Amino acid sequence: MADPSSYRPKPGQIPDSPGVYKFRDEHRRVIYVGKAKSLRQRLANYFQPLTSLHPRTATMVTTAASVEWTVVSTEVEALQLEYSWIKEYDPRFNVKYRDDKSYPYLAVTMNEEFPRVQVLRGHKKKGVRYFGPYAHAWAIRETVDLMLRVFPVRTCSAGVFRNAASAGRPCLLGYIGKCSAPCVGRVTPEEHRELAEEFSDFMAGRTGTYIRRLEKQMMLAAEDMEYEKAARLRDDIEALRRAMEKSAVVLADATDADLIALAEDELEAAVQIFHVRGGRVRGQRGWVTDKVEAVDTAGLVEHAIQQLYGEESGETVPKEVLVPALPEDTEAVTAWLSGRRGANVSLRIPQRGDKKDLMETVARNAQQALVLHKTKRASDLTTRSRALEEIAEALDLDSAPLRIECFDISHLQGEDVVASMVVFEDGLPRKSEYRRFQIKSFEGQDDVRSMHEVIGRRFRRYLAEKEKTGEWDPEGVVEDPDESGRPKRFAYPPQLVVVDGGQPQVAAARRALDELGITDIAVCGLAKRLEEVWLPGDDDPVVLPRSSEGLYLLQRVRDTAHDFAIRYQRSKRAKRIRTSPLDAVPGLGDTRKQALIKHFGSVKRLRQATIEQICEVPGMGRKTAEAVVVALAQAAPAAPAVNTATGEIMEDDGGGTA
């Protein structure tokens, strides 16, 4: 634990101007990012006596080993830089909202020649119009199914579209009138794009125009005694109205707004967002966070706004953002939102009327989400804490192992030997720090030797990172530290290394650490046969009770590493099986390989071709054609290849071997 006075800046050293500051720990990892109107006043608050600080702030400043800052011109720049650094460094003491699911959106791919309506999750793509998010994918599909009667936009995948175009026949949706069938030319690309635009306009809330237009067409058809057409238009109108009813009207003035509400206690906070477009609730989402820093409601609102709109631009940022409390720098946040939208954005607290009533509904949802989260997590938190304490007690560790790394070796009869490293922090997997290794120093099957190599490579990288930052140098010379602060691949040591195996693997791991002079990292192994825990140098294993939460956590860590290693090993084996004799031709890239296979239909037919015939393929010169003939002649198979994973014979007539 560091003494904050040991790294406190000298009086007058901190500028009295807006800026962003970073606290780093002893490994130079950024652990907290903050912004301030006055860096001097804000940073002075962190160097008060520990007894006067909030407990979470006290934990942060004693974990830190240094502080630095960057001066900016305006508070808006500080807000943007703070968001960028939090996203880049992932500081452990900053509030980060954990979204418990990837919410589905209704997307219209306007960036394609024939726009497609589909359900998408994850990162948003340029040129695609998004509507939502929705709580459930089925809710989107029900809405789309109703709207396709009126706006028969393409919904099929690229493969189905190409097949239908090649066959000259549309799919079932084209026959039943729920697709305009652009694949077979029933509509032009321009007409289909207009349909997609109208679909998007309707979803964006501009519904009255289309309803009135259809009603007028229905009346004209009835007057002309075209009763079948009038009946179809009547059904279309009813379908659109049912689709509209799925989003309740909550604001009569066709408001475009996002309403953000919070529910919090001393330890956690839940945020709920209602997306209102055209006066209707078009989507809902929610997050939960640990209050790892001392933050009030206004601060939580600011963090939520940053996370919600940090990657958005244009109309996805609404005209109004309604919140329960205004951020400290309201003007800066409003200016930042307006910059992202490209137009003025109103950030305010609703005081009366329908908007205030809806905000109360959002707040009730937030409260329910927090209660539900605590109900689910209470036993989980207690269980994880107990598991870490049991491991520390069983292995005679000084403290609970907050970071555990587990290693496993995988191969198939001595071939494609690989290893995995998985990381658990606070008893939870940290997938961004999983790593994979190929065994390089030897060939064949030797799990003990493989484990020694992998542990050595991992911790040599750790020492190399320490040397870069000046924490460790074999010559005693301290260089300038690396100031990037970005999370590095192997920069942070675990408190416990777990290996998948028994006494031999544990001894190999311990020997690798000893050879590097690392003595402050504990090592254990978990043998599969009897689930025994082995320690270095012990002739007898540590036997944890079958009901032990510590044993269950070790099993989970070990099984995760095992699965991760097997997936990597299988992918390498599959890649090896898919290799082509064309891979041996120097200078022949993927594009020309595919051109050859497409021209001749298969490797088998290509093998029968002459040099002159190969030269007819666009991009193929005579020298390359000669090299292709030589490579195929040398690789002529004596027997069909077999996929050892499935037993399937790999035919040479296929087109995907290039």
Type of residue numbered 289 = T
**Burial class of residue 226 (count of CB atoms within 10 Å of its CB; 0-12, 13-18, 19+):** middle
The pLDDT value given to residue 141:
74
pLDDT attached to residue 509 = 92
Inter-residue contact 469 to 500 (CB < 8 Å): no
d(CA 399, CA 385): 12
Residue 644 has pLDDT above 60, yes or no: no
- Asked if residue 484 has pLDDT above 70, the reply is no
* Residue pLDDT, tens place only, 279-296: 777 777 888 877 766 778
Are 567 and 546 within 8 A, CB to CB? no
Q: Phi/psi of residue 4, each to 5°?
A: -55, -30
Residues with Cβ within 8 Å of 623's Cβ and at least 6 positions away in sequence, in order, are none
pLDDT tens for residues 174-199?
Answer: 888 889 899 988 889 999 998 888 88
Q: Is the peptide bond before 481 cis (omega within 30 degrees of 0)?
A: no
Tell me the C-alpha to C-alpha distance, in Å, between residue 223 and each of 35, 87, 218, 417.
68, 62, 9, 78
User: How much is the pLDDT for 475?
Assistant: 35
Nearest residue to 146 via CA among 35, 224, 244:
244
Rounded to an integer, the average pLDDT of 410-431 is 82
Q: Look at residues 27, 2, 1 and name the one whose alpha carbon lies nearest to residue 490.
A: 27
Question: 3-class SS at 204?
Answer: coil
25 contacts: CB under 8 Å, gap ≥ 6: 31, 63, 64, 65
Question: Distances from the Cα of 238 to the Cαs of 68, 180, 515, in angstroms?
Answer: 62, 20, 77
**Number of CB atoms found within 10 A of residue 117's CB:** 25
Confidence (pLDDT) at 657:
36
Long-range contacts, stretch 589-592, CB < 8 angstroms, 24+ apart? 590/658, 591/619, 592/617, 592/619, 592/620, 592/624
The yes-or-no verdict on residue 406 having pLDDT over 90 is yes
Q: Decide if pLDDT at 642 tops 50.
A: no
Strands 257-264 and 320-322: parallel
Best-predicted range by mean pLDDT (134-148, 238-252, 456-470): 456-470
- Mean pLDDT value across the chain: 79
- What would the pLDDT profile of 346-402 be if each residue is shown by its tens digit? 999 988 888 888 888 888 888 888 877 776 655 566 778 888 888 998 888 888 888
> Pick the residue with more confidence: 462 or 98?
462
Q: β-strand 117-120 against 105-108: which pairing, if any?
A: antiparallel
pLDDT tops 50 at residue 638 = no
Per the CB < 8 A criterion, the answer to whether 394 and 542 are in contact is yes
CB atoms within 10 A of CB 576: 11
| pTM: predicted TM-score of the whole model, two decimal places | 0.47
State residue 427's pLDDT score: 83
Residue 455: φ, ψ to 5°: -60, -45
CA–CA gap between residue 220 and residue 214 (Å, rounded):
10
Distance from C-alpha of 225 to C-alpha of 223, rounded to nearest angstrom: 5
- At residue 329, the pLDDT reads 84
Please give the single-letter amino acid code of residue 196.
Answer: A
What lies within 8 Å, CB to CB, of 118 at 6+ separation is: 107, 109, 155
pLDDT above 90 for 498: yes
- Buried b or exposed e, range 356-395, using 16+ CB within 10 angstroms: eebbeebbebbbebbeebeeeeeeeeeebebbbebbbebb
**Axis-axis angle for helices 330-341, 297-309 (nearest 10):** 10
User: What was the pLDDT predicted at 404?
Assistant: 92
Query: What confidence score (pLDDT) does residue 354 get?
Result: 80
Higher pLDDT, 250 or 297: 297
- Per-residue pLDDT tens for 261-279? 998 877 778 888 888 877 7
